[in-house]
Structures are given as structure tokens and as C-alpha cells.
Chains A and B, each alone.
Chain A
Amino acid sequence: MISQLFILSSKGDPLIYKDFRGDCGGSDVAEIFYRKVTELPGDQPPVVMVHHKGYHFVHIRHFSLYLVVTTSGSVSPFILLELLSRLATLLSDYCGSISEKTLSLNVALVYELLDEVLDYGYIQTTSTEMLRNFIQTEAVVSKPFNLFELSSVGLFGAETQQSKVAPSSAASRPVLTGRSDQSHKNDVFLDVIERLSVLIGSNGSLLKVDVQGEIRLKSFLPSCSEMRIGLTEEFCVGKSELRGYGPGVRVDEVSFHGSVRLDEFESHRILRLQPSQGELTIMRYQLSDDLPSPLPFRLFPSVQWDHGSGRLQVYLKLRCDLPPKSQALHVKLHLPLPRGVASLSQDLSSPEQKAELGEGVLQWDLPRVQGGSQLCGLFQMDVPGLPDPPSPAPPLGLGPASLSFELPRYTCSGLQVRFLRLTAPGTPGNISPHTWVRHLSHSDTYVIRI
């Protein structure tokens, strides 16, 4: 199975190194790997690379860290990649977040974890339940967590009418620190996160739309109690099912984690499970081609250029088709420009927007877009070497516009969590757990061709 496992920073410094079998060279293998991966020519895939004598490097990149294993060629790549991802999640459960700094602070904990997870290169277990019994070391957190730190108002904090507001850093503290510190440990975060991939052609027709959704649970509860999650009643799977009146919420395919009990799913769309501490993806679903709601953004570009003076004028009208009460945050529009573009003059409709020209690309930042609104921007540039005006296509290099945005409290498929109930365990002096449910959609790729 696995011969060695090591973790490198983005510059190649070895943070963690563990050799399980001793049959594949010494600790200089980390250097060999880093050299190989940085010298790889552009078109060769870096995921699997050859080490000598029948061994291969398989790695993933997680937030700029390299997690690498060396292995022989007959091992399944899926097992290895899943192990590396699960290891990254496990480390972030224990250390809060995974980065060069946290790993260097928690070296002993990481080695202890690796000892328990892998034995002689074979995977033993990665479930946090079982590991909790064996891991003694406590994690060192880089800054102490403070529930009352409201300076960073994340996705929760827009409405201050709520009496309890959890800052966005709440979910990123370590799950499994200490056994003594039980005071504010009873939080449960349930996220419904959707990734939207859209491709719109140059004539405005929708070429491809794809929604990949996940329901993720992050539980800080020390003991298992039963959790019941209720989804929208009219939630249908597949094209032929019909529930309730009207089109309802439809997805194409759904898959559940093994520990979820589905006895009430058929009748009332309720999921039941006994969560352990840590992160868990309860349900995954996907939907293609048939969104119930209109697409969040539509772009109407208009391009004019003058061959003689080399002046290119791009007028972009961005229309947001969300319901009026919703808004989109951190909207960024990224438009590649023809080669050799010189200066940029801009005319934007609101002072908080920003547009910049960087490396042949126009970057337009809109921090907040309200549903139903239209925003316009007029950009003028000098570009040498433009083609003659009669040609109908836009100048070469005026690439497809791509948008990235976040839609808080909105799901493209319409799936909502109706309720989340915990059957509290009988521990003495228990504090009733806080449950936080949030819905979020964000763009995976949103490309509009010009």
C-alpha cells in the first residue's frame, strides 16, 4: 500500500514526513518530489508522477499545501485520493484550520494521528469517533477563539435583529480540543451549499447549467444524540417523481452518507442520523439543465471599436434576476482583453464598485448586488492592431466573461432545510445545543461568451 506520506508547504519545506515501510528511499524523497512537481512541463498532469523502481507519487493540493504519498503502481488511485482528502479534513478538525502555521504548531498531534490512521501503510480507520479514544495530545490553536468577536461579520451577520450572531470564524475552530473545556462546545452547524456551473453562449442561449449541492454537518457535540433533519416536503428525485402540487423542488440524483437512516425519507423527507464530532457530508445531489428559478445573472455586452484610432469600447449591462429581497455578494466579473491593451477609462454606476486592468484582463468588482437591479459599466481602452469594423465577431482575445459570486440564504434548486432537531443526551448540566442552519449558493464557473 502506502510507503511514505509527507506534507510539504507551498515552497517545498517538509512539514511532516512519515515512512511506513522503509523500502522507498530516505527523507530526501520530499525534495525529489518537489523538484519533479515544479519542473513538470505544462501539459503533463501532476497528480501521479513516477518515482524510481516502480513507485509513484500521488498528491493533492489543499490550500497550497502538498499532501503526498508514495506507493506502488497497483493501488487504486481513488482510495489514495480519498484518503488524502479525508486526512486533510481530519487535520483541520483537530487543528482548526490547516496551514503551514497550524501544522508546525501541532507536529506531535499530527504524528499521533498518522500513527492511528495508518499502520504499516494500511488504512486503519479515519472516523473521528474511534480516533477520539486514542488521541491524547491537545491541539494548539493559533489564536484563542472568542464568540463575541463581531468585527468580522460573515455571512450570518447581515441582519442584526437576531440576538445571537455567530461570526464566520465560529465554524473554523477545532472540533476536538480538550476534554475539560466543555463550556461552549454545543454547537451544530448545518450548511446547504450549492455550486453553480453555467455556460451561456454568445447569442444569449443557455448552453449548460449544472448545480452540485451538498448538505454538510459540523458537529461540536461530544456525545451522539439523534438528529433529525427535515427537508422540503415537495423534494423530488428524478424526472418522473411528483409530490405535492406544482413543480416543487427537483433534483436529478441524490446520494447519502452511509450513516444516514432513510426510513422516514420516502414519506416525510426526514433524515435521521447519529452524528459524531467533526465534519460530515450528509447528502450530495445534483441538478442539470432544468433550474426552477431563473439564472442569477445575465450579461448584455455591447462592443464597439474603431479601427483607425484603435479605441475599443465595451459596454456591459449586468442584470440580476434574483428575487428582490435577495442579494449577491462579492461579485467579480473577469473579462480577458485583446493583446496589447493600453489604458482604461471607466464609467461605473455606483461608487463602491471598482474596475481594474491587470495583465490583459478587466476585473470589475461589485461588492453587493441587490436582486432585480441592473448595473452598467462603460469601459474604453486603447488597443493597437484591431481588425476592421465590418467583421461581425468581436476582436480576438476579447474572451468570455466569467463571474464569481456568492448568494447567501439562497439555493438555486430551491431545497431548504425545514427543521433540525436534536434529541438531547442525558448528560448532567447540559447546555441546550445551538443549531445554525445556513443556505448558500456560490458560483463554480459562470461563463458568458461574448
Chain B
Amino acid sequence: MPYLGSEDIVKELKKALCNPHIQADRPRYRNVIQRVIRMPDLDHWGQAEVLGFLLRYQPRSEEELFAILNLLDSSLQSSSPAVVMAATKLFLVLAKEFPHVQTDVLVRVKGPLLTACSSESRELCFAALCHVRRILRSLPGHFSSHYKKFFCSYSEPHYIKLQKVEVLCELVNDENVQQVLDELRDYCTDVSADLAQAAIFAIGGIARTYTDQCVQILTELLVLRQEHITSAVVQTFRNLVWLCPQCTEAVCQALPGCEENIQDSEGKQALIWLLGVHGEIIPNAPYVLEDFVENVKAETFPAVKMELLTALLRLFLSRPAECQDMLGRLLYYCLEEEKDMAVRDRGLFYYRLLLTGIDEVKRILCSPKSDPSLGLLEDQAERPVNSWVSEFNTLVPMYSKACWAAISSSQVSEPHGPEPSGNGVLSASGSLVLENKEELQPLCDSGSFLLVPNGQLTAEQFEKTWLSLEVAHQEVLPWQGVAHPDTIQTALQVVNIQAIALSKAGVQPWKAYFSAQDGAGCLFLTELLLDPEPSQVHLSVKQSQAKAEALNSFISVLKTVIGTIVGIKS
């Protein structure tokens, strides 16, 4: 057990956390916890550890919850950032049901976080910035008045500057938009190309709400005729035009002249796309594309060639006279001389499409687009605090989303050993599932019923099979709280039940579909439908071969897993 500053505290904590008699007796458990919290002798390492242990404690009533919060209140003002962060996380986790308490805690922790963001230690600064970004996902206006603290300094290392630019992009509001845009504009001409491009993309992000000012700034940047700047600006324009169609006019006026400065693949693709889709407004679009077609043999990037094919075909539909000859030459090149199979394939497809007639081409290439205001903005939607609170104050926020997804997917495939003894901090609900894995393994292996990992059933196959079978079994199970798709997916994967589709957490109605296969080749298809009032889940199972015994075994495995998941939440 950790030292924690004095013998008494060790004894008390050991009593509380290891003695099953005390754990079974609720009032005694509570008393020990209260005594631990009141211990005045802890140094700040001990305090941080105790606050971490307390994450496992579930207060039974509201008064107890607020009593604990009052006792620990002074930790939020500690001079050590580790204690403040641990206290913040504990408060946020304990007050899961009270969003106004959570908001209050986040307001109080603003000061220490901002101090940490301007600390001398760069690593501490970086850690604080990552956590600020997490908070901004739920409370976008939280730091808006302190935007000046997030201006980049000249001497900071690159990774901190990138984080600050992201934060600036996220905390923009009506009052500070002008100053933030001015600052970002200065970064766009920075010596470092990476920072300049990051700043330009950040301006693109802000442009979704403040379109006119941002488009003007970006247009001015094009005047500089710098390669990396022009490429980034054109890419930003392409993303913007799709989301905010009202700025198409302004963008198209700014485009002529860009083609001379772009050399990289991404920039070229963006420019060609814009010329193809909005070519009728841009006067010299066919001539720019003609330049590309002339040089297509020397073009090294296949992605650019594919984009060129699509764009030219689109432009042909609106300006046929100017593009016909070019299109012919390009198609001839792609079909006869091109070595890259993907490009050749696309050329062949377009050629055959053209042979079927112009109406068909129009129908396929110019069909109504999906409404851009849906879908893509899922990233921008405010997430409730509870969705990220379990990862707060761990190493997870320090990685970018893509990195962490890669790390966790590579970890799920490796079997974990049991957690080392003595490690008391189990704060993420995901890690609690690991404890249950050991329970579940013997359950699956006993008896003759065995689920094997099947080669992933595709969604189409699942749907076809689902629709063709009758429901073999239906049941209603009690449920609690919000369904967490990751937990459920991981838990069921342990017993070789593969997830086909799951709704995101908190979506109404919440549904999930799973498939499993036993040793004899019998397929089990499952649907889970969550009913919020009353809190229960409807379970439907379909079987590809009618085998009652196998069906019962499968259902008992499924119910055990679901029971364990619900048990965690209670």
C-alpha cells in the first residue's frame, strides 16, 4: 500500500478498501472513508492518491454526496496542479447526475488550469492544454474571455503552438472573433509552414460560423503567392464551399491565378474539385483544366488524376463545347497509356457512362447532394461532460483522437493479463470490464456450447439473413443508465459475439445488432433495443438452424454478459 504520509492513513485505507466485512457494511465503510478524507497530515502526493481511490466510492444518497464534496472543497484550491486535477475529476464523476454542479466545478477550476497553461514547464503546459480542449468540447464558451492566454509565443515548441491554435479555433465567440482572427492571420504568415497551415485550417473552422470575415482573410492570403499558403487556402475553400454554399461566389472570384502556385497533391486535388463543381461561374476553368490535361503524363499523383477525370466530366456537362476535345484526350490517355489501375478503371467507367448517353451522366454526376448541415457537424455537437469524464486526468487526452483510437484498437486484440495486485486506481469503466473477463472465460469454455469467432459477417449479409429468418426468442431485461457502445462491444467481443452496428451513446432510440456463430456453424443474430421509460432492453434473437439447446445456451451467455454490464453501472 502506498505510504501516503502517515501510518494511520494506511491503516484506515487498508481497512476500508481491503476488508470485505467493512465493505459489506455500508455505514462502517462510509465512516472509514470520511475519516480518510479528513486526514490533515497528507502531503500533496497523498492527497492526489486518496482522491484517485475515492473514484471507486459510490455515495448512496444526495446528502452524503454533498457532504463529501464539502469536505474535499479545499483540494480544489490547492497549489499543486495534480491535486486540483484529481479533485476536479472526482467531483465531476461523483456529480454525474447533477450537471449544474459539474459546470460549477469547471468554473472554479478555470483559474488553476489557466495558470498551468502558462506555466514554465512546457510539459505541464501541454497537459493542461489537452484538458482544456476536452472541457471546451462540452462548454465551448468556457474560456472565451481568456482567449489572450492562448496566443502563441515565439519560443514555444511546435506541439504547444498547434494545441493553442486548436483551442483558439474552438473558443471563438462574437466578442473575441475579431481579435482571434487577427492573431490567426498573423500566424498564417509564420516562418514555419506547419503552423501556417494549421492556422489556415483553424480559420477555415471558424469560417463555418463567421463566413464573410474568414473568406476575406483567406482571399487576402492568396495575394502573397506562397506555395504552402495557397495550397492550404484552396483546401480550406473546398471544405468550406461544401458546408456554406453562400460563400461560393466569393471563393470563385478569388480562385483565378492560384494554379500557378500549387505543387502538392492535396492542393491540386482541392483546386481541381472546385473547378469541376463550380466551373460554370469561373470563367477560365476549362483553360486551367486544359493545363492539367496537357501535363497529365508528368503527373505523379494518381489521386490528382482521378480528381481530374471527375472534374472534367462535370465541367463537360455545363460547358460542353470547351471541354469536349480535352475530355477525349484525357480519356484516351487514361485508357491506353495509364499504368495505375485505379485511374484506368475510373476512366473506363466514365467512358462507358458517356456511351450510355448524356442524360444518364447527368443523373449520376449531378444528383441532389445531401444536406451539408447534417452529418458532418456531428463533431461540433456539444458532448455532455459525462462522455469524457472517465478519461479526464489520465493519459488519454494527451493523445490526438486518431492516435488513441489506433492504440486502443491494437490493445483490444491483445489479451490483457490480470491487473497487477496493489494497483487500486480503476477509474475508467472500460477497465472494470477486464475484471469480468476472467469470470466469463470459464463460462464459455464449460459445456459443449462454444461460440467461435466468425469471419466478420458483412452488413449486407447480416441484413439479408435477418430479414429472411423468424424471431426465435424475445425477452425483456432490466437496464440502467445510458448505453455505452464501447463497453458493450468489448464485453460481447470477449465471448466472441461480434457487433455489426451500434447506435451512438445517448441516441434515441438506441439499437444494436450482433452476430455470433457456434462450432456447428449455426448463426445467431441478435437485436438489442433500449427502452428509456421504463429502463429496460428488448432482446430479440434469430437463429439460422432450429436448435433449441444451442439457442438456450446462447441466450444464457448473452444474458450473463448483459447482466454483468448492468451490474457495473449500478
Chain A interface residues (CB < 8 Å from chain B): 1, 21, 23, 42-48, 50, 53-54, 56, 58-61, 71, 73-79, 81-85, 119-120, 122-127, 195, 197, 199, 207-208, 210, 212, 253, 255-258, 284, 286, 288-289, 336, 396-397, 399-400, 402, 444-445, 447, 449
20 A-B residue contacts at CB 8 Å? A44-B159, A45-B126, A47-B159, A48-B398, A54-B411, A60-B123, A73-B395, A76-B48, A77-B394, A78-B393, A125-B5, A210-B118, A210-B149, A258-B44, A286-B115, A400-B186, A444-B153, A445-B154, A445-B155, A447-B153
Kindly state the separation between the CA atoms of A255 and B119 in the bound complex, as whole angstroms: 14
- Say whether B2 contacts A123, CB under 8 Å: yes
- Say whether B394 contacts A119, CB under 8 Å: no
Chain B residues touching A, range: 35 or more
Say which residue of B111, B154, B224, B428 sits within 8 Å of A74 (CB atoms). Answer: B428
**Is residue B226 within 8 Å, beta carbon to beta carbon, of the partner chain?**
yes
**Is residue B396 within 8 Å, beta carbon to beta carbon, of the partner chain?**
yes
Chain B interface residues (CB < 8 Å from chain A): 2-3, 5, 43-45, 48-49, 52, 77-82, 85-86, 111, 115-116, 118, 120-124, 126-127, 148-149, 151, 153-155, 158-160, 162-163, 179, 183, 186, 189-191, 194, 224, 226, 393-396, 398-399, 403, 407, 411, 414, 416, 420, 422-423, 425-428, 431
A79-B48, A212-B118, A396-B224 given as contacts; is B394 within 8 A of A42 (CB)?
no
Chain B residue nearest in CB terms to A126: B45
Shortest Cβ distance from residue B304 to the other chain A in the assembled complex, whole angstroms: 24
- Say whether B398 contacts A253, CB under 8 Å: no
- Say whether A76 contacts B153, CB under 8 Å: no
Shortest Cβ distance from residue A443 to the other chain B in the assembled complex, whole angstroms: 10
- Say whether B427 contacts A78, CB under 8 Å: no
Complex interface: chain B residues within 8 A of A21 (CB): 420
Complex interface: chain A residues within 8 A of B162 (CB): 43
Say which residue of B124, B395, B422 sits within 8 Å of A56 (CB atoms). Answer: B395
- Say whether B80 contacts A42, CB under 8 Å: no
Complex interface: chain A residues within 8 A of B420 (CB): 21, 23
- Say whether A45 contacts B79, CB under 8 Å: no
Complex interface: chain B residues within 8 A of A396 (CB): 189, 224, 226
A45-B126, A76-B394 given as contacts; is B189 within 8 A of A208 (CB)?
no
Kindly state the separation between the CA atoms of A208 and B146 in the bound complex, as whole angstroms: 11
Q: Considering residues A48, A77, A286, which has the most beta carbons from chain B within 10 angstroms of its beta carbon?
A: A77
Sample of 10 further A-B pairs with CB below 8 A, known A50-B407, A82-B80: A43-B194, A75-B425, A82-B81, A82-B82, A122-B3, A124-B45, A125-B45, A195-B120, A258-B78, A286-B115
Kindly state the separation between the CA atoms of A84 and B82 in the bound complex, as whole angstroms: 12
Kindly state the separation between the CA atoms of A284 and B394 in the bound complex, as whole angstroms: 26
Shortest Cβ distance from residue B123 to the other chain A in the assembled complex, whole angstroms: 5
Shortest Cβ distance from residue A72 to the other chain B in the assembled complex, whole angstroms: 8
- Say whether B85 contacts A60, CB under 8 Å: no
Chain A residue nearest in CB terms to B45: A123
Complex interface: chain A residues within 8 A of B393 (CB): 76-78
Chain B residue nearest in CB terms to A56: B395
A42-B158, A396-B226 given as contacts; is B123 within 8 A of A75 (CB)?
no
Chain B residue nearest in CB terms to A401: B154
Kindly state the separation between the CA atoms of A400 and B299 in the bound complex, as whole angstroms: 38
Complex interface: chain A residues within 8 A of B121 (CB): 60, 81, 85
Kindly state the separation between the CA atoms of A28 and B158 in the bound complex, as whole angstroms: 29
Kindly state the separation between the CA atoms of A288 and B85 in the bound complex, as whole angstroms: 24
Complex interface: chain B residues within 8 A of A402 (CB): 154-155
Complex interface: chain B residues within 8 A of A59 (CB): 123
- Say whether B127 contacts A47, CB under 8 Å: yes
Across the A-B interface, give the 4 residue pairs with the lowest CB-CB distance, nearest first: A45-B159, A445-B153, A122-B2, A78-B82
- Say whether B85 contacts A76, CB under 8 Å: yes
- Say whether B154 contacts A77, CB under 8 Å: no
Chain B residue nearest in CB terms to A444: B153
Kindly state the separation between the CA atoms of A54 and B149 in the bound complex, as whole angstroms: 34
A1-B423, A47-B123, A253-B115 given as contacts; is B153 within 8 A of A258 (CB)?
no
